[in-house]
Amino acid sequence: MEVILKEDVNNLGHRGDVVKVADGYGRNYLLPKKLAMQATAANKAVIEQMKASAVRKSAKEKAEAEALVGQLNSVALVFERKVGEHDHLFGSVTSADIAAQLEAKGFNVDRRKVQLDEPLKQVGEFHIPVKLHREVTAHIAVTVKAEEAAAV
């Protein structure tokens, strides 16, 4: 099945590309999630117009992302969590936690853009990449500390 991508899809292609995919993948995943549309003659004509606007939109998004990188590279987040033996956390720090704290500081970053391979489960300092655009990535310093025990 040939489809035209409406959005960038990892390991498949970028917005506006015409790609050949398995029928099930196209029908059950790409089309229902509005990530692609079927590649018909009419849709191919429409996509040419969309490509021109997508180039302008991508340039604008890249400029905004580059402006945001300068601000995000200086951001340092601190999380305090309960810890057990060997500085192992009870629970973890996830990309959603990082995105929520960034939003509290005034940055509107989607949690899916935080490139965290697996949740942070150790105390320490980490440098987490945030992919703001296809070509623009910021790095945030995240510190996970042990929570102070309250005196009883």
- pLDDT per residue, tens digit, the chain (152 aa), is 999 988 888 889 887 888 999 999 999 999 999 999 998 888 887 777 877 787 888 888 888 888 888 888 888 899 998 888 877 888 889 999 999 999 998 888 888 888 888 988 888 899 999 888 888 888 999 999 988 765 44
Tokens of 132: 């703001």
The reported pLDDT for the residue numbered 72 is: 86
Domain ranges of the chain: 2-62, 70-146
Which CATH class for the 2-62 domain?
A: alpha beta
Contacts with 130 (C-beta within 8 Å, 6 or more apart), sequence order: 72, 109, 113, 114, 115, 137, 138, 139, 140
DSSP structure string for 96-151? HHHHHHHHHTT----GGGB--SS-EEESEEEEEEEEEETTEEEEEEEEEEEPPPPP
The reported pLDDT for the residue numbered 22 is: 94
The reported pLDDT for the residue numbered 23 is: 94
CB 130, CB 114: distance < 8 Å = yes
The reported pLDDT for the residue numbered 152 is: 47
- Going from the C-alpha of 101 to that of each of 15, 34, 43, the distances in angstroms are 30, 29, 41
4, with CB counted inside 10 A (0-12, 13-18, 19+), is buried
CA dist 121 and 39 (Å) reads 45
The reported pLDDT for the residue numbered 24 is: 94
- The second-level CATH assignment, the architecture, of 70-146 is Roll (3.10)
